[in-house]
Amino acid sequence: MKKILIVDDAVTVRMYHRQLMESLGFEVEEAENGIEALEKGLVRHFDLFLVDVNMPKMDGYRLVEEMRKTPELQAIPVIMISTEASEQDMEKAYLSGANLYVVKPANVDELQTYAALLAGGE
Amino acid sequence: MDPMLEAFISESRDNLETAGRCFLELEKCSGDEGLLNDLFRSVHTIKGSSGLFDIPVFTKVVHAAEDVLDSVRSGELLMTPEHIDMFLDTMDQVSVWLDDLESTGSLGDGAEARSQVLVQDLRALLSAPPTVGSDPNVTEPEDLSQPQDAPDTGGRLCTPPGWLAAMPDKLRLALYARTGGESLDILAIEYTPDSQCFFSGEDPLHIVRTLPGMVWFHIQARDSWLEPVEMDPYQCNLVFHAVAAGTDNEIRHHLRYVNEWVHVMLLAPDQLVVPEGEFGDSEPFETFIEESTQLIEEGGWRRLRQRIHPLLEVSEPGFLQTSVLHWMETLLKEDEPNQALLESLLETLRSGVFQWPEEMFDPVTQDNTPSLVEDGTSVSMHELDEPRLAAVRQALVVQRHILSMPCSYELLAGRIASVAKVVKNLLAASESHPAGLDAAIETALDEKSPEPLVAFVDDLLSAMKPDGKKPASGPEDKPMQREEVRHQDVSGQQVGGSDGEICPRMGAMPKQMSTSAGEPPARSKTLRVDQQRIDALMDLVGELVVAKNAMPFLARRAENDFGIRLLAKEIKAQYAVINRLAEELQGAVMQIRMIPVSSVFQRFPRLVRDLSRKLGKQIRLVLEGEETEADKNVVENLADPLIHLVRNSLDHGLETAQERESAGKPAEGTIILRAISHDDQVIIEVVDNGRGIDPEVIKRKAYGKGVIDEQRLDTITDHEALQLIFAAGFSTAEEVSDLSGRGVGMDVVRSVVMQAGGRVSVESKKGEGTTIRLSLPLSMAVTRVMMVEVAGQCYGVAMENIVETVRVPTTDIQRIKHNEAVVLRDKIIPLFYLSKLLNLKVNTASSGEVAILLMKVAGQEVGLVIDEFHEGLDIIQKPLEGVLVHYPWYAGAALLGDGRVLLVLNIRELLSCR
């Protein structure tokens, strides 16, 4: 089963994304911020990270940058999810190493499709 | 309730609390970046999460607040106390909505209207960025309430302020016409004077009227007007909007003294174009629309003008169509009319809604990313039947874009690795396995450049072009059946970007990913539990405590009734073990229920701030011992009395700055809110250094109101006199103010505290200040009572009221008038017979001695004559229900270990209805 790590500081959002991902048949784990996500990612393999941008302690950009610098994590696909729809935010996400940028609240089909694609199947 | 909504509500409450705290601290140190970030994040999270539910009204408000905070964070907006007031109001409203959501599942009535007002007010703070092309986040189309004054520009660049639509069409048309000939700066000015501006000699109206080149201005109330009684006419509650045509420098120079309160924004002439009026019958315009569409495309400006002219002749003023025609005519006077704008206006004729042309404010997407946008559209247009394939393509486009972006050396390896992984996954998902991917990755590694991958993806993309339909090298086409994927929908741009410089080098690429499986990391450390569950647990523990009390009875029976001493001993030994466990369990559960008093203290900074502003006093609030913990119920019960006490101190205790200075005290008054934990009590003190209470005044008042009689007036000590402020029907305030008056006095405070099993006392020194002390039990769950017997019945009396137990010879009892009393340690103690108070049979069998329970009731010592004392015990007191509710002299009931029910007496009530 494919494993997904949902990184978001908002409980509600994590719950929502968990529902979406579990309905695709993914196994889901959650992290509240970048640091927790790195810790979890280092002890267990994930097929995809869903990452929020604005988080305490370590935000999404920093998290993805750290991932890309860390040999164990650098190849994991990342979908970054943010409320910001602007070009600059999107560019910043790609620059930091995200593979896809989705504006939140995301279209359900869209998010599910992309998650399934980037994780390499359902 | 939907668990997700539940989570949202509780999470948002936490975030609101954080936000509230941050606001107050920001007021003290406005520049604190960490605070601002915390604040922004908490509001941001509320907004983000609210988007998951169908509450757009709610989201809009929080979004507006977030936008304002964002510009504060980026230094564009200075946060003033007025802003904070408004934010706090907004947060209050959000909190009310959360309550509504929790109780009814929807926002209350009038939420929409309220939301609009709040959004407008918040947006008014923002006004517009000073120059074209600055912060893109300031305005977003979805949040502007009316399409008319909120053109849907995509909000990417400088959007004209919404209030511009309030400027009459005619003036705008005239102004537009002027820009043709002269070189003019059109400036939109939003001026929100400091609410205290009248005191600093500012004359906002004069400033606005004398603006150089002023074309139009209008005045609005910032907040809705208060009732005339509450309104402070010396506070400026106005916001001025003006449009001036002059030079930027000139106008900024004019406004230099009020710079802080003004937003000036440069408008392009085209931004004046906002047709207004009612959308009338569109039928007469149908032919015109058709012809003009053609003409605009061809650039037949002259003929278009000829078409407009006769139509204008017959159009009535006041209709949207007329206004559109006027604008079109005006635009056509230019040598090279703005084609997009004309098209937009024409569209308005069709639909009745005016929208700014996209590209007018968004040159970025236009210039930089034509290919991506084009690709995206073409894919979704041609392959909607295969949405999955479209998504694959889209994702590939993004990966290609990512590869072409500039990159630092340390990130490059990761970037290539992740993109390679994504491309692999994408291809696997679309079940195509084109040769060459692995080779491309390897080459990329060898050459230390993303180029081979870029080439590979490019090939793939061109093979997937709509005409190709699928990856050329893929196997049989298997259309994937999935729900339609919508691109470029409400959620905004999906992908896009611009070509950047390509990084020439790359680091080593990892051969494989680490799959080391270790211990799963620890879960989060806190748990949110419904209070009801804890209460249920507490109840069970209570029953256990009671059940365990049965064991000593059992031991006694074993010994006395069955004569088995050894068994009795064993039961007792076992009891000791169970007793210890039960007590520890009880302690543990109570520990769960413990919350820090800070949850109540938190609301005071806001309260003190608001009230001291309102009262015009300078007051500093000091919180001490916030981390002190007590049972949740106790802490919650504290809130109301504390608010009352703090208000009292603010209103009556602390003097105004002038009074204080003339009394030789520092101008700033201080209120200390202190929590101390002492034995199994938590003590809360409200200390102020105000004018204090004069015991003489209290005495006179108390006598005047009949609270004490003449005799007591002579003998009462100052300390005792002070305690009289808690007596029922006593209020020292000469006049009832709207803060602490309202007809309830300190007696209410006392009764609430008493109900929670606590005590309250006051100390005060005239001219130096007042301290009010509340002592509360740490936990209300377990009460210690003494069992007393009267007329063969057992009753419980709360231990905390009992001073001592004494037996005195009947001969010591003296009669004073109709009452009996006894002298104990030189004090006269009035005696009451419990049997008489309860209307029970009086025990006449005299043993020459009476048992007296010496108690402190309402600050006075009294003796309660009973038949016999029994042991003290811990009980879980339950309130009486049903018909028994009407017997206030019973505080409650509890189950005893042997199954009997014990009634607990409320001595105070019992004595008051004697």
If you average pLDDT over residues B711-733, what whole number do you get? Answer: 74
Q: Is B422 helix (H, G, I), strand (E, B) or coil?
A: helix
Side chain identity at B898, as an amino acid letter? D
Contact B889, B906 (CB under 8 A): yes
B121 shares a domain with B157: no
Among the three residues B105, B126, B147, which one is the final residue of a domain in this structure?
Answer: B126
If you average pLDDT over residues B427-456, what whole number do you get? Answer: 74
Q: B235 or B707: whose pLDDT is higher? A: B235
B552 shares a domain with B573: yes
Side chain identity at B495, as an amino acid letter? V
In total, chain A counts a number of residues equal to: 122
Going by pLDDT thresholds of 50, 70 and 90, the confidence category of residue B752 is confident
- CATH number of the domain that B686 lies in? 3.30.565.10
Contacts of B369 in chain A (CB under 8 A): 87
Q: B142 or B814: whose pLDDT is higher? A: B814
If you average pLDDT over residues B428-443, what whole number do you get? Answer: 72
pLDDT at position B766:
82
Distance CA B438, CA B440 (A): 5
- Name which of B258, B425, B137 is nearest A113 in CA terms: B425
Domain A3-119 of CATH type 3.30.230.10: no
Say which of B137, B156, B418 has its CB closest to residue A74: B418
pLDDT at position B250:
79
Is A69 within 8 Å of chain B by CB?
A: yes
| B378 CB burial (10 A radius; 0-12, 13-18, 19+) | middle
Tell me, what DSSP letter sits at residue B700?
H
Query: CA dist B813 to B340, B665, B816, B821, B826, Å?
Result: 105, 54, 10, 6, 14
The label of the residue with tokens 């996500």 reads A37
Q: Is the dihedral of CA B529, B532, B538, B540 positive or negative?
A: negative
Contacts of A19 in chain B (CB under 8 A): 4
**A-B Cβ pairs (cutoff 8 Å, strict):** 202
Cβ–Cβ gap A90/B496 under 8 Å: yes
Q: B655 or B844: whose pLDDT is higher? A: B655
Going by pLDDT thresholds of 50, 70 and 90, the confidence category of residue B914 is low
B257 shares a domain with B174: yes
Q: Is B154 helix (H, G, I), strand (E, B) or coil?
A: coil
In total, chain B counts a number of residues equal to: 914
> Other C-beta atoms within 10 Å of B542: how many?
21
Does B155 have pLDDT greater than 80? Answer: no
Is A26 within 8 Å of chain B by CB?
A: no
Closest CA in chain A for residue B38: A56
Tokens representing B774 are: 């509340």
The label of the residue with tokens 């029953």 reads B543
Cβ–Cβ gap B517/A45 under 8 Å: yes
User: What ipTM does this complex have?
Assistant: 0.88
If you average pLDDT over residues B265-292, what whole number do you get? Answer: 79
Contacts of B406 in chain A (CB under 8 A): 95
If you average pLDDT over residues B668-696, what whole number do you get? Answer: 86
pLDDT at position B776:
83
Q: B374 or B263: whose pLDDT is higher? A: B263
Tokens representing A111 are: 């998010």
Does B199 have pLDDT greater than 50? Answer: yes
B801 shares a domain with B756: no
Closest CA in chain B for residue A17: B52
- CATH number of the domain that B50 lies in? 1.20.120.160
pLDDT at position A49:
93
Distance CA A91, CA B496 (A): 8
Cβ–Cβ gap B44/A105 under 8 Å: no
If you average pLDDT over residues B307-336, what whole number do you get? Answer: 80
Going by pLDDT thresholds of 50, 70 and 90, the confidence category of residue B430 is low
Tell me, what DSSP letter sits at residue B319?
B
- Residue-wise pLDDT tens digits, B838-878: 888 777 666 788 889 998 877 788 899 888 888 877 777 77
B227 shares a domain with B177: yes
In chain A, residues 82-111 whose CB comes closer than 8 Å to chain B: 83-88, 90-91, 94-97, 99-107, 109-110
Say which of A44, A97, A116 has its CB closest to residue B520: A44
pLDDT at position A79:
92
- Residue-wise pLDDT tens digits, B540-596: 887 787 778 778 888 888 888 888 888 888 888 888 899 889 888 888 888 888 888
Residue B477 lies in a domain: no
Positions in chain A short of pLDDT 50: none
Residue B243 lies in a domain: yes
Contact B194, B236 (CB under 8 A): yes
Is A23 within 8 Å of chain B by CB?
A: no
Beta bridge partners of B339: none
Is A72 within 8 Å of chain B by CB?
A: yes
**A7 to chain B, closest Cα gap in Å:** 13
Tell me, what DSSP letter sits at residue B878?
B
Going by pLDDT thresholds of 50, 70 and 90, the confidence category of residue B501 is very low
Cβ–Cβ gap B51/A84 under 8 Å: no
Going by pLDDT thresholds of 50, 70 and 90, the confidence category of residue B780 is low
Cβ–Cβ gap A94/B392 under 8 Å: no
B257 shares a domain with B141: yes
Side chain identity at B148, as an amino acid letter? Q
Cβ–Cβ gap A109/B491 under 8 Å: no
HEC string for A14-77 = HHHHHHHHHCCCCEEEEECCHHHHHHHHHHCCCCEEEEECCCCCCCHHHHHHHHHHCCCCCCCC
Going by pLDDT thresholds of 50, 70 and 90, the confidence category of residue B524 is very low
pLDDT at position A5:
93
- Number of domains composing chain B: 6
Which of B6, B372, B405, B422 best probes binding to A when mutated, by most A CB atoms within 10 angstroms?
Answer: B422
Among the three residues B544, B571, B595, which one is the final residue of a domain in this structure?
Answer: B595
pLDDT at position B510:
36
Contacts of B489 in chain A (CB under 8 A): 107
Going by pLDDT thresholds of 50, 70 and 90, the confidence category of residue B817 is confident
Sheet of strand B759-765: strand arrangement? B619-624, B669-678, B681-688, B769-777, B759-765
> Which are the contacts of B586, defined by CB distance < 8 A and separation ≥ 6?
B541, B545, B781, B782
Does B879 have pLDDT greater than 50? Answer: yes
Contact B471, B432 (CB under 8 A): yes
Does B206 have pLDDT greater than 50? Answer: yes
Cβ–Cβ gap B519/A43 under 8 Å: yes
Going by pLDDT thresholds of 50, 70 and 90, the confidence category of residue B135 is very low
pLDDT at position B504:
35
Q: Is B69 helix (H, G, I), strand (E, B) or coil?
A: helix
If you average pLDDT over residues B498-524, what whole number do you get? Answer: 39
If you average pLDDT over residues B400-426, what whole number do you get? Answer: 82
Residue B565 lies in a domain: yes
Residue B718 lies in a domain: no
Q: What is the CA radius of gyration of chain B?
A: 39
Cβ–Cβ gap B420/A75 under 8 Å: yes
Is A78 within 8 Å of chain B by CB?
A: yes
Tell me, what DSSP letter sits at residue B734?
S
Among the three residues B365, B396, B414, which one is the final residue of a domain in this structure?
Answer: B365
Going by pLDDT thresholds of 50, 70 and 90, the confidence category of residue B729 is low
Contacts of A77 in chain B (CB under 8 A): 418, 421-422, 425
Query: What mean pLDDT is reported for chain B?
Result: 75
Q: B351 or A36: whose pLDDT is higher? A: A36
Residue range(s) defining the domain that contains residue B536? 531-595
Distance CA B730, CA B742 (A): 13
| B772 CB burial (10 A radius; 0-12, 13-18, 19+) | buried
- Residue-wise pLDDT tens digits, B624-636: 988 888 888 788 8
B13 shares a domain with B68: yes
B108 shares a domain with B159: no
Query: CA dist B581 to B680, B781, B911, Å?
Result: 20, 17, 39
Going by pLDDT thresholds of 50, 70 and 90, the confidence category of residue B508 is very low
Is A15 within 8 Å of chain B by CB?
A: yes
Distance CA B872, CA B856 (A): 18
pLDDT at position B701:
78
Cβ–Cβ gap B429/A56 under 8 Å: no
- Sequence-distant contacts of B372-379: CB under 8 A, at least 24 apart: B372/B397, B372/B401, B372/B495, B372/B496, B372/B497, B373/B496, B376/B487, B376/B488, B376/B494, B376/B495, B376/B496, B377/B487, B377/B488, B378/B466, B379/B466, B379/B487
Tokens representing B394 are: 């889209």
B628 shares a domain with B589: no
Tell me, what DSSP letter sits at residue B283?
G
> Other C-beta atoms within 10 Å of A40: how many?
18
Contact B772, B685 (CB under 8 A): yes
Is A1 within 8 Å of chain B by CB?
A: no
Residue B838 lies in a domain: yes
Percent of chain B with pLDDT over 90: 1
Q: B528 or B806: whose pLDDT is higher? A: B806
Distance CA B420, CA B120 (A): 48
Task: Give phi and psi for B310, each to the nearest 5.
Answer: -65, -35
B46 shares a domain with B9: yes
- Residue-wise pLDDT tens digits, B704-719: 777 777 777 778 888 8
Is A24 within 8 Å of chain B by CB?
A: no
A6 conformational bin, left if phi > 0, alpha if psi -120 to 50, beta if neither? beta
Query: CA dist B167 to B123, B158, B261, Å?
Result: 18, 19, 21
Contacts of A120 in chain B (CB under 8 A): 424-425, 428-429
Cβ–Cβ gap B388/A91 under 8 Å: no
Is A3 within 8 Å of chain B by CB?
A: no
Does B78 have pLDDT greater than 70? Answer: yes
Say what the alpha-carbon torsion angle B572, B576, B579, B584 is, to the nearest 10 degrees: -170
Tokens representing B374 are: 């084009």
- Name which of B239, B246, B240, B241 is nearest B175 in CA terms: B246
Q: What angle do CA B884, B890, B893 make, to 5 degrees?
A: 80
**A101 to chain B, closest Cα gap in Å:** 7
- Residue-wise pLDDT tens digits, B753-768: 877 777 888 888 888 8
Cβ–Cβ gap A13/B49 under 8 Å: yes
Strand (E) or helix (H) holding A9? none
Q: B885 or B762: whose pLDDT is higher? A: B762
* B53-62, B150-159, B644-653: range with lowest mean pLDDT: B150-159
Residue B576 lies in a domain: yes
Contacts of A52 in chain B (CB under 8 A): 48
**A35 to chain B, closest Cα gap in Å:** 12
Is A57 within 8 Å of chain B by CB?
A: no
Tokens representing B125 are: 């703070």
pLDDT at position B414:
84
Cβ–Cβ gap A9/B517 under 8 Å: no
Does B787 have pLDDT greater than 50? Answer: yes
